[in-house]
Amino acid sequence: DLPFAENYKIKMVEPIYRSTREERENWIDQAHYNLFNLKSDQVFVDLLTDSGTGAMSDRQWAALMTGDESYAGSSSYFHLKEKVKEIFGFDYFLPVHQGRAAENVLFSVLVKAGQLVPGNSHFDTTKGHIEFRKATAVDCTIDEAFDTNGMHPFKGNIDISKLKAVLNEHPKEQVPMIIVTLTCNSSGGQPVSMANLREIRQVADQYQIPVIFDSARFAENAWFIQSREPGYQDRSIREIVSEMYQYADGMTMSSKKDGIVNIGGILAMRSKAWYEQASVYNILFEGFVTYGGMAGRDMNALAVGLDEVTSGVYLENRIRQVHYLGNKLIDMGIPVQKPLGGHAVFVDAKRFLSRVSKEEFVAQTLAIELYLEAGVRGVEVGTLLADRDPQTKENRYPKLEFLRLAIPRRTYTNNHMDVVAAGLKNIFDRRDSIARGFQIVEEAPIMRHFTVKLEPI
């Protein structure tokens, strides 16, 4: 048997700079210990996000050239609309400039002050758009997701009894929708099973509540169903996706992830009435209904990206690389969210740096250590991201504090993954010498993690 190898070769390269520790010490200080403030050329391996950072294929680049930039009625729009119908089955589609724009437009139609939106650990922009409308996101994720060592195969699942409790306690007028995030980013890129999606649909029908899928990583979710859920081994990714979306009334999608494009998003739905209302907001916030903030060429590249992500061995290439890094860390004894997810490796910062308190931002402390050690930029998914409670203004301490190492699609080689692992191992070996973290100097009232200024304690 021959070893596995990627089914693509590299046609174009972009140089990256390998800095010294001394340079990085200066840069992170100038960046106020916020990794978002670093310049990209101050980073060697950038695992800040897998969003918009992937490498397009030659077919996608070719599709750019044939984009139709007409303001109204662009052929690129109709092309993408057909692809959305073919893959997800929705008749009504609005292009938007990225995922949070789809949330903004849809929630402008559906979400009112005082309402509740249950789901599986909503992503921060989703929660932000709910809270901005003075509504509340209720996390109904299964408890198993919060034990990083537990091997539950679908830690993105919604706990049906938690969901029913919300629906029993509140009239349907108070619950505009259930949001299911595929895969669940906040709990570690963890998938939702088909059985769970089916059950959510049944509950939703019983209580007459619409179901929306946050679809940023829908194809990775389908891959986990194919590889882990009994009965799906012989079904194609396309078939699995098509069944998944039978259980939804609509979708929002950041196409910067599983669309493998650098910018763009999708809002799609079954209801004509929603579409008509959403069109008004799309025109107001995004652009006319046939471009919605996307260039024609970008819609073309996205249509090809949706094809690639759902066919051939793309997903195997992708998830193998994430698991290559994850398994290396596991072999080194480094605590990570298990089983490994689809787009990132989530390092359990509380267990890694057990001497640093949550009040001193333990996951951010680990992120800064890794940057200093190896020039690798990850991102904190912990107390900084969780922000303050909108009512009490107190810090919200999430159950888990992660350093997320998100892997861009088709961008880095496994040699880069080796650098990341070696950097973390060096820190792990001296973890007992790290006892203090950071304190906030300045922060914004919402989504503070992007702009917060910190200083070492």
Draw the binding track, 119-148, toward ligand F0G (x: CB under 6 A; -: no contact).
----x-xx----------------------
Using rule CB under 6 A, residue 185 touches ligand F0G: yes
Binder among 46, 68, 139, 214 for ligand F0G (CB under 6 A)? 214
Task: Kindly tell me the sign of the dihedral angle through the C-alpha atoms of 38, 43, 47, 53.
Answer: positive
51 scored as a contact of ligand F0G (CB under 6 A): yes
Contact between 103 and 97 under an 8 Å Cβ cutoff? The reply is no
| Active-site annotation holds for 278 | no
Reply yes or no on whether 123 is catalytic. Answer: yes
x/- letters, 225..254, toward ligand F0G (CB under 6 A)? -----------------------------x
Q: Report the alpha-carbon distance of residue 117 to residue 209 in Å, rounded.
A: 10
Cα–Cα distance, 114 to 108 (Å, whole number): 14
Cβ nearer to ligand F0G, comparing 179 with 356 = 179
Taking Cα atoms as reference points, which of 237, 202, 194, 286 lies closest to residue 88? Answer: 237
CA atoms within 13 A on the CB side of 312: 11
Residue of 50, 68, 214, 307 with catalytic role: 214
Q: Identify whether 17 is a catalytic site residue.
A: no
Q: Where are the beta strands (DSSP E) in 316-423?
A: 344-348, 376-377, 379-381, 402-406
124 carries an active-site annotation: yes
Q: Which is nearer to ligand F0G, 125 or 300 (CB)?
A: 125
Active site residue 249: no
Q: State how far the Cα of 267 lies from the Cα of 398, in Å rounded to an integer.
A: 30
Give the residue with the Cβ less far from ligand F0G, 141 or 360. Answer: 141
Answer yes or no: 214 catalytic.
Answer: yes
Beta bridge partners of 116: 136
CB of 274 to ligand F0G, least distance (A): 19
Catalytic residue among 137, 216, 303, 349: 216
Query: Is 409 strand, coil or helix?
Result: coil
Specify the residue, 139 or 214, whose C-beta has the smaller distance to ligand F0G. 214
Q: Which stretch binds ligand F0G (CB under 6 A): 97-105, 109-117, 270-278, 358-366?
A: 97-105
| Interactions with ligand F0G, residue window 322-381 (CB under 6 A) | none
The residue annotated as part of the active site, out of 46, 124, 258, 348, is: 124
The amino acid sitting at 245 is Y
49 contacts ligand F0G (rule: CB under 6 A): yes
Would you state the structure tokens that stand for residue 24, as one six-digit string?
């990085």
Q: What is the secondary structure of 124-182 as a DSSP string? A: HHHHHHHHHTT-EEEE-B-GGGG-TT---TTTT-B-HHHHHHHHHHS-GGG---EEEES
Of 51 and 60, nearer to ligand F0G (C-beta) is: 51
Minimum distance between the CB of residue 115 and ligand F0G, rounded to whole angstroms?
A: 19
Is residue 358 flagged as an active site residue? Answer: no
Instruction: Tell me the three state secondary structure of residue 441.
Output: strand
Q: Find the catalytic residue in 4, 71, 397, 450.
A: 71
89 — alpha (psi -120 to 50), left (phi > 0) or beta? left
Q: Is 382 in the site for ligand F0G (CB under 6 A)?
A: no
One of 141, 181, 187, 221 touching ligand F0G (CB under 6 A) = 181
Rounded to the nearest whole angstrom, what is the least distance from the CB of residue 326 to ligand F0G in the complex? Answer: 17
How many angstroms separate the CA atoms of 13 and 63, rounded? 20
Provide the minimum distance between the beta carbon of 191 and ligand F0G in the complex, in angstroms, as a whole number: 12
The catalytic residue among 77, 123, 412, 438 is 123
Rule CB under 6 A: is residue 76 a binding residue for ligand F0G?
no
* Cβ pair 419, 371 in contact under 8 A: no
* Separation between Cα atoms, residue 179 and residue 169, nearest integer Å: 18
In the complex, the residues that contact ligand F0G under the rule CB under 6 A are: 49, 51, 98-100, 123, 125-126, 181, 185, 214, 216, 254, 256, 265, 406
Residues identified as active-site = 71, 123-124, 214, 216, 257, 449
